[in-house]
Chains A and B, each alone.
Chain A
Amino acid sequence: MSTEEKYVAAVYLVVFVVLLAYVFIIALKLQRLERELTELVELASRRG
């Protein structure tokens, strides 16, 4: 791989890693919200 190709690959890799990290963080947050929702449903059902 030439130096030029390494720089181009680095740019595309950085962009996809950052976007992947962003999507991963959002996915973790949605999982947390789902857990909270389950807890609230249980709390509401206990209250009748």
Chain B
Amino acid sequence: MAAAIALVFFYAPLDEDGLNQKIFYFHVPIAFTAYASFAWGGWKALRHLWKRDENADLESYVAIHLGTIFGLLTLVTGSIWAKYRWGHWWVWSEDQLVLFLVLFLFYCAYFMLRYSLPPGPQRANMSAVYALFGVVLIPVSILAIRLSERFIHPVAFDRGGPNMAGSQFFTFCVCVVAWFAVAATLYQLELAGKRLDLRLRELREALQE
């Protein structure tokens, strides 16, 4: 992450967007990390339903939890960028923004569903089915910028490749790797905590018998 920040501020050149373009190096990789976390949560949900993998429910929950945090960061960083560039915190007519908000709110509701049910197989199954439905929204959200007829939101990548200089693209790639590494570390950390919590609960119940 330190290398990524150093590249952003000391290596990547400025373009016509000025210093404000530095936000892109955090905003877009964070959005990619949110998509990847939701997709990983969906994959684990599928494994829970398909293979009856006992650990998959907890892994799916942790991935979606992380995805929601990264989703919130995407919305906040995007809004700050938009306020400077467009003069508005939010533009409701922009499909990319609204679809990402829908995806974020959909996964926020995942926690409402999960915690409205008592722990057990029913909660795990319902949560897994819900998480899988959300996966459908991910490609729609990513492709919205291309499907939309309005092009207020900048297009960093098109069929011809990245719309930026080589040094900018290299910096961007390092930022993506850095954010994926941060997400993977936080995922393992939270998962270890949750597993330890479960084991301790089982141990307490065994000792109280």
Chain A bound to chain B: yes
Chain A contact residues, CB within 8 Å of chain B: 2-5, 7-8, 10-12, 14-15, 18-19, 22-23, 26, 29-30, 33, 36-37, 40, 43-44, 47
- Cβ of B27 to closest chain A Cβ, rounded Å: 7
Number of B residues whose C-beta is below 8 Å from A? 28
Chain A residues, CB < 8 A from B207: 40, 43-44, 47
**Main secondary structure on chain B at its contact with chain A?**
helix
User: Can you name 25 A-B pairs with beta carbons within 8 Å?
Assistant: A2-B19, A4-B19, A4-B20, A5-B19, A7-B23, A7-B81, A8-B23, A11-B27, A12-B26, A15-B30, A15-B73, A15-B77, A18-B72, A22-B69, A22-B186, A26-B186, A26-B190, A29-B193, A29-B197, A30-B193, A33-B200, A36-B200, A40-B203, A40-B207, A44-B207
Considering only residues 35-85 of chain B, those with a C-beta below 8 Å from chain A are 69, 72-73, 76-77, 80-81, 83-84
Q: State whether B204 touches A8 (Cβ < 8 A).
A: no
Q: State whether A11 touches B26 (Cβ < 8 A).
A: yes
Chain A, residue nearest B197 (CB)? A33
Set B20, B73, B197: member contacting A14, Cβ < 8 A? B73
Q: State whether B73 touches A26 (Cβ < 8 A).
A: no
- Cβ of B186 to closest chain A Cβ, rounded Å: 7
- Cβ of B34 to closest chain A Cβ, rounded Å: 13
Chain A, residue nearest B204 (CB)? A40
- Cβ of A38 to closest chain B Cβ, rounded Å: 11
Chain B contact residues, CB within 8 Å of chain A: 18-20, 22-23, 26-27, 30, 69, 72-73, 76-77, 80-81, 83-84, 182, 186, 189-190, 193, 196-197, 200, 203-204, 207
CA distance in complex: A26, B65 (Å): 13
Q: State whether B27 touches A18 (Cβ < 8 A).
A: no
Chain B, residue nearest A7 (CB)? B84
CA distance in complex: A27, B55 (Å): 22
CA distance in complex: A10, B19 (Å): 13
Set A7, A26, A29: member contacting B20, Cβ < 8 A? A7
